[in-house]
Structure 1
């Protein structure tokens, strides 16, 4: 897990990506920014942590059909399983955030404009360590 990028101690209903907001220009950033305002037109202000919208709309999507090269995690001894990658425009922030779809959702299940929500997910498991992340799940599939 990348510390500070999302909540991790709460249940699925409370799961949120975490960003930062500049108090001077109100720009929101994800991944978070803790040093300076990334808005080139801003003189800078204090950056505060903000939970981002849980839901958004599919802006674009594709599938990953190749094994990534080193240094990415990819065990050549295991069978490669394709994954679905989404670009999602968050509802309130009007920013696009990338992430994988929940397991079982393929590009055939998606359409541009479809509503999705951020849920906790697993990126990788290695020697007893679980690397957590977020996944996007179609809202129609929820509950």
Structure 2
């Protein structure tokens, strides 16, 4: 049987290649506001006076930890959580992208804990797996610390 890789939410990130992996947002051509999750119907900036189009843009691949916490509860859909298996906590990270002037949420990569993510530390977005079954691998994004030797 062939296992199909599927994004948890189509259009929110590029494929599975770590070297080119990016979150995808949209930018209003009238006011230059950037949105993630993407906006496809209209500009969500209440101050925008234009009738600009929304263009897809890749977001910065790196940012700084704005905040983080341990997820010690079973999350709601679309996260898959089998009540018959022991719950494993995960780390949720809020990352500030300077170029886009926004904060983006996501899970930390497996094995990365709150202790690994001091506020202000640099992280990068990487492809991740949310869930697997016999037919599908559900892909998503994760944040992981940038090793000290490659930080800017």
TM-score band w.r.t. shorter chain? over 0.9
Tell me the equivalent position of 1:111: 118
Q: How many residues align?
A: 142
**Distance of aligned partners of 1:8 and 1:142 in 2 relative to their CA distance in 1, 3 Å threshold:** farther
Tell me the equivalent position of 1:16: 22
- CA separation in 2, counterparts of 1:142 and 1:134? 23
Give the one of 95, 98, 101 matched to 1:88: 95
Contact 1:18 1:32 in 2 (8 A): yes
- CA separation in 2, counterparts of 1:109 and 1:142? 16
**Distance of aligned partners of 1:82 and 1:142 in 2 relative to their CA distance in 1, 3 Å threshold:** farther
Question: Deviations along 1:80-121, whole A, 9 cap, x unmatched?
Answer: 110000000013112000000000011111100000000000
1:58 aligns with 2:65: yes
Listed as ranges, the gaps of 5+ residues in structure 1 are none
* 3-state SS of 1:87 partner: strand
**Distance of aligned partners of 1:103 and 1:142 in 2 relative to their CA distance in 1, 3 Å threshold:** farther
TM value normalised by structure 2: 0.87
**Distance of aligned partners of 1:93 and 1:73 in 2 relative to their CA distance in 1, 3 Å threshold:** same
State the 1:71 CA deviation. Answer: 7.4
- CA separation in 2, counterparts of 1:33 and 1:58? 24
Tell me the equivalent position of 1:27: 33
**Distance of aligned partners of 1:71 and 1:51 in 2 relative to their CA distance in 1, 3 Å threshold:** closer
Listed as ranges, the gaps of 5+ residues in structure 2 are 1-6
Contact 2:64 2:96 in 1 (8 A): yes
Tell me the equivalent position of 1:40: 46
Tell me the equivalent position of 1:97: 104
RMSD across aligned positions (CA): 1.8
Contact 1:55 1:91 in 2 (8 A): no
- CA separation in 1, counterparts of 2:88 and 2:100? 33
